[in-house]
Amino acid sequence: MPIDPAIAIVLGGALVGFLLAVFGGGGSALAAPVLLFLGGVTDAHVAIGTASAAVAANAAFNLAGHWRGGRIKWPCATVFAIAGLAGSFAGSSLAKLINGQHLLLAFAFAMAAIGLSMFRKAKSEGDPDVHISMKLVVRLAPLGLLVGLAAGFFGIGGGFLIVPGLMLATGMTMANATASSLLSVALFGAATSANYALSGQVDWPLAGLLLLGGAAGGTAGLFAAKRLATRARLARTLFAALIVLVAACVGWRAIGG
């Protein structure tokens, strides 16, 4: 017996919220496929715009939980997010001009490249005592702009790009990068959804269903994130595997049309 689309979207939203809380990304990349595969949405642009709205709200919810846990590097997160905000507006404006199936295929390739790169063993587990400096600002701002552009273009919160970006620019641990990335995920998602909403490409009731499930999933994910904070290598491998898996699903959907 087929599952009701509304229930499927809520369950999918729970998975999105869980993964956002645990990894800071990956979940946002799943939000649009949930709407396309389970929610009956046929327009890729509507799926992306709607998913962005729900992801922004879910990220803000999970950000508060990580804040209470003391895992966010606020100065670094703020520089990265502000720089990326302009990029997300530009990227989402460009994406609206591109064929939806082509957009999904490009999305899949970008995800696969990032995921495969993360299987490489990190040189270190990262520095848990990173502090902002002018040197880090110079590295964070350009990376933030580029990641924001990509996040807006692909219609995702961009956590699967933001987490590696923060680690690369600052040398912080994955646990800190995961928590800190949620500020950017929330802002980029809000900017992208606002841009799509101006074109009438956000289905607000479906966004509400995703958000409902995401709140429950995010609560569970925050507990899991505490456990994985001390197991950086395992977290990195799981995160990379998730990205590659979703990339394959999205690519299959794009090729199948």
In sequence order, what DSSP letters do the residues of 143-199 get, joined into one string? HHHHHHHHHHHHTS--HHHHHHHHHHHH-B-HHHHHHHHHHHHHHHHHHHHHHHHTT
pTM recorded for the entire structure: 0.76
**Tokens 């869980």 correspond to what residue?**
18
Give CA–CA dist 180/5, Å, rounded. Answer: 33
Cβ atoms < 10 Å from Cβ of 112: 18
Flag whether pLDDT at 257 surpasses 60: no
3-state secondary structure (DSSP) of residue 127: strand
Give CA–CA dist 52/180, Å, rounded. Answer: 18
- For residue 224, the enclosing domain spans 5-256
Q: What is the pLDDT of residues 4-33, one digit of tens each?
A: 888 989 998 898 888 777 776 666 677 888
Q: Count of domains in the chain?
A: 1
Flag whether pLDDT at 229 surpasses 80: no
